[in-house]
Amino acid sequence: MKRMGIAVFWGLLILHPLFCQQASGNGSSTVPYLIPQTVFVGDRARLVVPLGSAFSGTEGMVRDIPSELPRARDVEILRVELERRGGAARLLVDFQAYIPGVVELPLIELGTHEFTGLRVHITSILGGDGDSRILSPAASGASVPGTMAVIYGSIAALIFLAIAVIAVMAWGIPRLGSFQYNMRRAQTVRSLRKTLKKLGEELNKASFSGEAAEKILASLSGEFRRYLSFFAGVNCCSMVPGEFLYLQPGAENGETRYLLREKAFLHDFFRRSDAYRFGGGAGPADIRAMLEAVREFSAGLEQPGPDTETGAVSGNPAYKEGAR
């Protein structure tokens, strides 16, 4: 009897680990667990959910296409698999969580099956002091290397561009005015020369008459007055001959000083022009002398030389002879 008790005792001692292993295996087969056991914020992990006998006849399936996986704000599902192992089945969920604490996974659908209420515990590397601290949020775009250089570089470029525009305007506006003046000056000079050439050709025609002389003098007087208006800066088109003695140019420069020195010539020229136009008696030689006088006056005004101090036009012998 004593021997039988000892045999039973040793038999129970030998079989005890087997019963414990079977009990432990049966318990773990129904409880979900994580791989690895400790999951930190941002780590990739796998949740293993053992399924009961109700899923024994279910075919295995996998979902790993991002567009077919469930979405959530605090956790990202990377892969879902319904795995069969012999007569058992289990659900494998690969995920990545972004907040610490207990995180609930979103609804998972596999075929006709739906899995809800799955929760995992996520640990924060900031420490377990119980203050619910979490990882710092994502850095702003301004903290990305090179971003501030781009921002400040753009600001510097805009400032440089504004300074360049102001400098160009300060440098260019006065020169633009000078350019416009030179263009108008060249146009005025060209117009007078063209008119003098045209009137000289009409004067050389055989059919010269008093009416032709009046027409030539009217064209010469009008064009010459427009020419003087540009250089004097005042309206000379409506001035009578006597007003040229009191001519007051709008600015002071070499050209206007030349005009002031030749006021007597201008008075005499327009007085004679009006006398020939309205009184008659002008011959081809008289008109030719007037054309030549205008030509010499314009040459002295446009390119002042040593003879402008004494008055090159008023000293013209042909013009003096015509005046007598």
Could you read off the pLDDT of 281-311 as tens digits, one per residue? 778 888 889 899 999 998 888 875 434 444 4
Q: Could you tell me if 107 and 116 are in contact, meaning their C-beta atoms sit under 8 angstroms apart? A: yes
Which token pair is 217? 């003098």
pLDDT score for 206 = 55
Q: pLDDT below 70 — which residues of the chain?
A: 1-29, 54, 56-57, 126-144, 206-208, 304-324
Could you read off the pLDDT of 110-138 as tens digits, one per residue? 878 888 888 899 888 765 554 445 555 66
Which token pair is 48? 């293993």
pLDDT score for 8 = 46
Q: Could you tell me if 48 and 39 are in contact, meaning their C-beta atoms sit under 8 angstroms apart? A: no
pLDDT score for 141 = 66
pLDDT score for 223 = 92
Beta bridge partners of 90: 50, 83
* Cα separation, 269 vs 275, whole angstroms: 10
Provide the total of helices (H) and of strands (E) in the chain, helices listed first.
7, 9
pLDDT score for 160 = 94
- The alpha helices in 204-262, defined as continuous H runs, are 210-232, 254-261
Q: Provide the residue ranges of all domains of the chain, joining segments of one domain with +.
A: 29-125, 189-323
